[in-house]
A and B are shown apart, each in its own frame.
Chain A
Amino acid sequence: MSEKKKYQFHELYLKKEWSYQTGAVLLALFSLALVIVTGKSWGVTGPLGMWGGWILSKLGIAVDTWAGFKATPVASYDIWKDLPALTNIGIVVGALLAVLLAAQFKIKKLKSIKNLWAAILGGLLMGIGARISLGCNIGAFFTALPAFSLHGWIFWISIFSGAAVGSKLLVKYFM
């Protein structure tokens, strides 16, 4: 048996990439399944602030006295009951499984110091932005716009403008 034929199954069903449309349909269905069963919609960034607050509280900083943590104190935070926290773990492991099954897993190191600055600045801006607009590209967009909420539409336009500016900055400073 030639090598090609032997691994035809692998190539076709585990390694071959799906179309964007396939991804779109499945993401929408999984997102709907989540809200139908749990009553809560998919989000991603909410837990990040809580995890940060939890770390600070372990370091002895009383974040629960801050106004920003009044509504959701770290003291009563339970990661196992936090829907986006669980789906976030799932996304990391699901993507890992997908690359392992495709035999494509590889640690991809930073290419240059510019990537480090990009990661720092990009991460900070996304974190701050998501908290101010009450969600990210999932919670304030993917499960907001289809829920007939105006803020989902506004968020889309705003993130689009931000992405245009970000593209210019990326080309100029981070490439």
Chain B
Amino acid sequence: MSDTTITIKRSTPKETPEQRARKRLIQFIASGVVLVLYILLAAFVQTKNPQGAFILLIGLGFGYILQRSRFCFTASMRDPVLTGSTSLTKAVIIALAISSVGYMALQMKATGLSLEKLGTDALKSVTQLPGHVRDAGVHTVLGGFLFGIGAVIAGGCASGTFMRMGEGFVQQWIVFIFFIIGSVIGMAVLPAIKSVPFLYQATPVYLPKLLGGWIPAIIFQFGMLFILYIIADIYGKKKSGEL
């Protein structure tokens, strides 16, 4: 019985041209239906939130880009260990470098070129800056470590889970349910963690402020990304036998 199922499964990739054409047509029509429903959703959300439709458009772009390029943050951190491949790691570094240029510009506009507006009434805290400048400390290490284990076991990080839900992976729909449960547990225990001074440091650390200005921060940021790119490239080439 099980043998038959396997044979049937193995034979599916060898569909006839007619079957393939039919599948293409059905899925093409379905994509049109999905798009129309999404536009209706965007129109509805727009009535509740003036930025709603734009945010939904960017989100749709994220999903399309992640799926088409098989971009996976988890794999970028797992593959160097598991398979020795660093192609995704390098791509993530490129994305970080481009984003850094954008955030640098936005933040320079907000802080002034020599951080003169920082600490004034206009800009009291670094957490108000564009981007997530948040508390850094032992809690970051602890949370990141647990998250890294979870992402590899679950077969996808946060963005990857949502992407695979759209691709039709049943596993990621289950991950999603337990991601929600885990998040509630996390929210419930966070105040307890925050009350232990060793575990939680309520200090957002902003590199331009820490290092004493934009120039050292830029040297650190892009220098580190460049060095990491070179390390990833050499490591990947060594593992694949190119070097």
Contacts and interface: CB of A to CB of B under 8 A. Distances in A.
B202 to A, nearest CB: 11
Interface string B118-140: 00000000000111111111011
B235 interface: no
Contacts of A109: 170
Interface residues of A, number: 128
Nearest to A7: B24
Contacts of B35: 97
Given A26-B61, A163-B74, A123 B69 contact: no
B226 interface: no
Interface in B175-190: 175-190
The interface centre, meaning the residue of B49, B55, B153 with most chain A CB atoms within 10 A of its CB, is B153
B31 to A, nearest CB: 4
A107 B243 CA distance: 41
Given A28-B98, A38-B51, A95 B167 contact: yes
Contact of A158 (B95, B106, B143): B143
Nearest to B70: A17
Contacts of B141: 133, 154, 157-158
Contacts of A96: 34, 63, 166-168
A149 to B, nearest CB: 4
A137 B90 CA distance: 16
The interface centre, meaning the residue of A18, A106, A136 with most chain B CB atoms within 10 A of its CB, is A136
Interface string A105-125: 111111000011011111111
A26 B191 CA distance: 37
The interface centre, meaning the residue of B52, B175, B177 with most chain A CB atoms within 10 A of its CB, is B175
Interface in A120-175: 120-167, 169-171, 174
Contacts of A68: 187-191
Interface of B: 17, 20-21, 23-24, 27-28, 30-31, 34-35, 38, 41, 45, 48-49, 51-52, 54-71, 73-74, 77-78, 81-82, 87-88, 90-92, 94-100, 102-104, 106-107, 129-137, 139-155, 157-159, 161-172, 174-191, 193, 204-208, 210, 217, 221, 224
B157 A126 contact: yes
A63 B145 CA distance: 27
B186 A49 contact: yes
Interface of A: 3, 7, 10, 17-39, 41-45, 48-49, 51-53, 55-56, 63, 66-70, 78, 80-81, 83, 86-101, 103-110, 115-116, 118-167, 169-171, 174
A137 B99 contact: no
Given A49-B187, A86-B59, A136 B157 contact: yes
B52 A80 contact: yes
B190 A130 contact: no
The interface centre, meaning the residue of B94, B149, B171, B217 with most chain A CB atoms within 10 A of its CB, is B149
19 contacts: A18-B65, A18-B69, A28-B95, A31-B99, A45-B183, A68-B190, A86-B59, A87-B56, A94-B62, A95-B164, A97-B166, A100-B27, A103-B23, A126-B154, A132-B193, A149-B133, A162-B144, A163-B149, A166-B153
B127 to A, nearest CB: 9
Contacts of B182: 123-131
B153 A151 contact: no
Given A81-B48, A95-B166, A138-B158, A119 B184 contact: no
Contacts of B193: 132
Given A18-B68, A38-B51, A95-B162, 19 more contacts: A20-B90, A30-B65, A32-B99, A49-B183, A83-B51, A90-B61, A92-B165, A119-B175, A122-B150, A125-B182, A128-B146, A128-B150, A130-B186, A133-B140, A134-B135, A137-B159, A146-B96, A148-B104, A169-B152
